[in-house]
Amino acid sequence: MASGPPPSQAFWLTVPVGRDGPGSVIDGRTENTGHGPLFPSGAPDKREDLWLKIDFGNKVEIDRIDLAILADFPHDAFWHQATVEFSDGSRELLKIRKDPAPQTFRFPRRQIEWLRFIDIKQTKPLGWAAWSEVEVWGRRVE
């Protein structure tokens, strides 16, 4: 995961899907192997209609997403799949592993203004699942 912003002309955005909902954005915290205030993660419990949109506010060029799931196993379940829908109309399918280590998803570089995670899937019966951190890597388009 990122230890800080990359060199100039690049950006990094960190979006925890947190206990306080999407309002708890850009905190850079990656703790994911426990519960409570020391582990800023969470999501609505046992739902199949979840989505998360990240709007960059201007055009960016990206080619990587890093994802850390909440991984207090066996307590936690996990979402094993999600689709990323980009503002340019393209999509990428993410196959998510049951792994506490951050997972990196690389894809062809594209210029977008926003992305949205949709079709977030979990094996039934549904359990408690959450993402601890989402990092989107790329650069601003000048």
Hey, what's the torsion of the CAs at 106, 111, 116, 118, to 10 degrees? -60
| CATH, range 11-140 | 2.60.120.260
Q: Picking from 21-30, 107-116, 126-135, which range would have the lowest pLDDT averaged per residue?
A: 21-30
- In the predicted model, is pLDDT for residue 17 greater than 50? no
Of the candidates 100, 30, 94, the one whose C-alpha atom is nearest the C-alpha of residue 65 is 94
The pTM of the full predicted model, rounded to 2 decimals, is 0.81
**CB half-sphere exposure, 96, CA atoms < 13 A:** 28
State which of 11-20, 47-56, 78-87 shows the largest mean pLDDT.
78-87
Measured over the CA atoms of residue 81, residue 115, residue 13 and residue 22, the dihedral's sign is negative
C-alpha distances (whole Å) from 90 to each of 7, 62, 63, 83 are 28, 13, 13, 10
Instruction: Return the domain boundaries, the chain.
Output: 11-140
Q: Give the model confidence (pLDDT) of 23-69 as tens digits.
A: 443 467 777 777 777 666 656 667 888 888 888 999 999 999 999 88
